[in-house]
Amino acid sequence: MTAVMMFAGGIGLFLLGMRLMTDGLKVAAGGALRTVLASATRSRLRGLASGVLITTMVQSSSAVIFATVGFVNAGLLTLYQAIGVIYGANLGTTLTSWVVALVGFNVNLQALAMPALGVGMGLWVAFGARRKGALGQALAGFGLFFLGIDVLRDAFDGLGEQVVLAEFVGTGPLALLAFTFIGMLLTVLMQSSSAALAVTLTAAAGGVIPLTSAAAMVIGANVGTTSTAAFAVLGATAPAKRAATAHVVFNVITAVVAFTVLPALLWLVNVVGDLMRLDPRPATSLAIFHTMTKLLGVMLMWPLTGWLVSWLQRRFRSVEEDDARPHFLDSNVQSMPLLALDALRQELVRMAGLTHRLAAEALSREHPDAGAYASSVQTLESLQDSIGEFASGIDRARDDPLLSVALPHALRVAQYHVNSAEQAVEVARLHGQVELSDAEVAAQVNALRGHVVALLDVARPDADGNDAERLANERAALEHQYQDVKARLLREGTAGRLSPRRMATALEMLSALHRLIDQVTKAAQYLYRFEESFDRRGVAAEATDAEAA
C-alpha cells in the first residue's frame, strides 16, 4: 500500500511539474513559438528542426502539435510544412527520456529540486504574470518534475525483488502486446507520454519490468500520445483533422514497424550504448530506444510525406473545399470537344446552384452575417479558375468554330456568378447599416429584396419553366420596382424625412442590389447562349451521323 501511495504521489508531482513547466515556458517564450513556427514555412527540413527546438523549449509535444494545427487552420502553414513540424515535435519529446535516464539516476534529485522550487516560487510570487514570473513558474515546475522522479524511483526501488510483472504476463509476443497496451493506457489516462515514460523508465530501473517489456511499453506510450490530438479535433475543421491525423499516422506506423523489429532495435541499442560509452542501465537503454524509434519513424515517413499529404487532402474535406473541387471537369475528355463542353455545362449549372444558394441566403436573412459568406465567394472563385484552366486545355486541333463561340460564353457565365456572389455579400453587409424609420419605405425595400430572391429562382438552370423570355420579363418588372424604390428614397431625403447619411447608405445598398440583378441575369442569359450553341452543334452532329448510316 505504501508503494502504491508513493507511486500515485510521484505521478501527481511529475504531472504537476510538467504542467507548470510547460505553461511557464510558453508564457516566457513570448512570441518565440510563433516566430520559430513561421520560419518552418521555408522548407520541410526547417519544419523538422523547428518542431525539435520548440518541443525542447516548452517540454510538450502536444502543445507544439496544437499550435501547428492552429497555424494550418489559419493558413500560415501548409499541411506539407506542418507535417515536418509534427515529425520534429515527436523527435523532440525524447528529451524527457534522456533527462530521466541521465539525471534521475545519477544526481541527488532533492538537492537539485529544492533550490529550483524555492527560487522559482520566489520569482513567481514576486513578478506574477510577467515574464520573470513565468520563468519562476517554469523553474518551480522543473523542481516538482525532479521530485516526482525521485518519488517514483523510491516507489520502485527494491520492488523488483518482490514483484516482476513479466512473471504474471509472460514474455512471448502476446505478452509484449499486453505491455504495449499498458503503455498506451497509461498515456491516455495521464494525458502525458512523458509521465508514462517516466513510470516505464523508473519501473525498469527498479527491476519491476524487464527491458524488452519496458521497450514495448515505450512503443505503446508513443501511440497513446496521439489520443490528445485525436480528442481535440473531434468536430474540428478539415485542416485540423488532417494535421492531427498526420500525427496519428506517424506514431502508429512507427509503432507497428518498431514492434515488428523489436529484437533488432534492442540489439542496436546495445551497440549504440557501447559506442557512446553510456552506463548500461535499463533507463539509459530505454532512452536510446525511445530516440531510435522516433528516428526510425522520421526515416520511414519522410519519403512518404507527399503521399500522406495527398491522402489526407482526399480523406478530409470541408463543405467549402468539396464545393470548390470541380465535380465534372475531367481532363480525359478535353481531347473530345463535345464531351468537354458537356462537362463544362454541368459544372456551370452546379456553379449557378452554389451562387443562387449563397445569394438567396444573404438576401433572405433578417440579420445576415456578411463575414460568414467570404469562404463561399472563395469557393466560387476557385471554381472559376478551374473552369478557365479546363476551357484553355480543350483540344482545338480541328479549329472547331463551335469552341470559339461556346467557350467565351462559358467563361462569361463563370465570371458573372462570382460577381453575383460578391454583390450579394455587399448587399448583406449594407443591409445591417440601413436605418429606415418609415415603415412604408422599409416595406418597399424589403419587397424589392424579396423580388430579387424570386428572380434567383427563375434564373436557376434547373427551374421549372426556365426560359429566356420569362427571365427577361421578370428582369423588366424588377427594374421598374427598383426605380420606384430609388425615387421614393430620394423624395424622403429631399423632404427631410430621411437624413442624408441614411439616404446615402440605403441608396448604396439599392445600387448593390441592382448590380446583383444585372449579374444574375447576364449569367443566366449567357448560359442560355452557351447551351443553344452546344445543342445546335449536337443536333447537327446527330444528323450527320444519321446521313452516314
The per-residue pLDDT for range 64-103, each reduced to its tens digit, is: 777 777 667 655 677 888 888 889 888 888 887 787 777 7
Residue 64 cell numbers, joined? 507544439
Average pLDDT over residues 235-250: 78
pLDDT tens sequence across 353-409: 888 888 888 887 766 665 567 778 888 888 899 899 888 888 765 556 777 888 888
**Amino acid 163: pLDDT:** 47
Q: Residue 317 and residue 338: Cα distance in Å, rounded? A: 31
Q: Which of 36-50, 197-211, 328-342, 378-392 has the lowest mean pLDDT?
A: 36-50
**Amino acid 300: pLDDT:** 92
**Amino acid 545: pLDDT:** 40
**Amino acid 541: pLDDT:** 41
Contact present, 176 and 214 (Cβ < 8 Å) = no
**Amino acid 170: pLDDT:** 55
% of the chain exceeding 70 in pLDDT:
77
Average pLDDT over residues 150-177: 63
- DSSP secondary structure code for residue 325 in this structure: S
pLDDT tens sequence across 213-225: 889 989 998 888 8
160 confidence band (pLDDT: 50, 70, 90) = very low
Q: Residue 272 and residue 278: Cα distance in Å, rounded? A: 9
Q: Residue 478 and residue 458: Cα distance in Å, rounded? A: 12
Average pLDDT over residues 508-531: 88
**Amino acid 470: pLDDT:** 82
Q: Residue 452 and residue 162: Cα distance in Å, rounded? A: 83
Average pLDDT over residues 469-497: 86
Does an H or E element contain 251, and which? helix 238-260
258 confidence band (pLDDT: 50, 70, 90) = very high
547 confidence band (pLDDT: 50, 70, 90) = very low
**Amino acid 549: pLDDT:** 41
182 confidence band (pLDDT: 50, 70, 90) = confident
533 confidence band (pLDDT: 50, 70, 90) = confident
Residue 340 has pLDDT above 50, yes or no: yes
- Report field, pTM of the whole predicted structure over 0.75: no
Residue 538 has pLDDT above 50, yes or no: no
**Amino acid 355: pLDDT:** 87
Domains defined for the chain, CATH in brackets: 2-157+168-316 (no CATH), 322-548 (1.20.58.220)
Q: Residue 444 and residue 441: Cα distance in Å, rounded? A: 5
Residue appearing with cell numbers 449549372: 349
Task: Give the residue from 473, 469, 483 showing the smallest Cα distance to 513.
Answer: 483
Q: Which of 56-70, 74-88, 242-256 has the highest mean pLDDT?
A: 242-256
**Amino acid 411: pLDDT:** 92
Q: Residue 217 and residue 195: Cα distance in Å, rounded? A: 12
Buried b (16+ CB within 10 A) or exposed e, 236-265: eebbbbbbbbbbbbbbebbbebbbeebeeb
**Amino acid 42: pLDDT:** 65
Q: What is the CA radius of gyration of the chain?
A: 33
Residue 235 has pLDDT above 70, yes or no: no
**Amino acid 418: pLDDT:** 92
Q: Residue 36 and residue 543: Cα distance in Å, rounded? A: 67
Residue appearing with cell numbers 502476446: 174
232 confidence band (pLDDT: 50, 70, 90) = low
Residue 167 has pLDDT above 60, yes or no: no
**Amino acid 254: pLDDT:** 92
Residue appearing with cell numbers 448590380: 515
Contact present, 51 and 64 (Cβ < 8 Å) = yes
**Amino acid 546: pLDDT:** 41
Residue 519 has pLDDT above 60, yes or no: yes
Residue 444 has pLDDT above 70, yes or no: yes
**Amino acid 33: pLDDT:** 60
**Amino acid 252: pLDDT:** 92
Q: Which of 9-13, 251-255, 460-464 has the lowest mean pLDDT?
A: 460-464
**Amino acid 145: pLDDT:** 72
- DSSP secondary structure letters along 389-403: HHHHTS--TT--HHH
Average pLDDT over residues 105-119: 72
What is the CB neighbour count within 10 angstroms for residue 22? 21
Residue 207 has pLDDT above 90, yes or no: no
What is the CB neighbour count within 10 angstroms for residue 327? 13
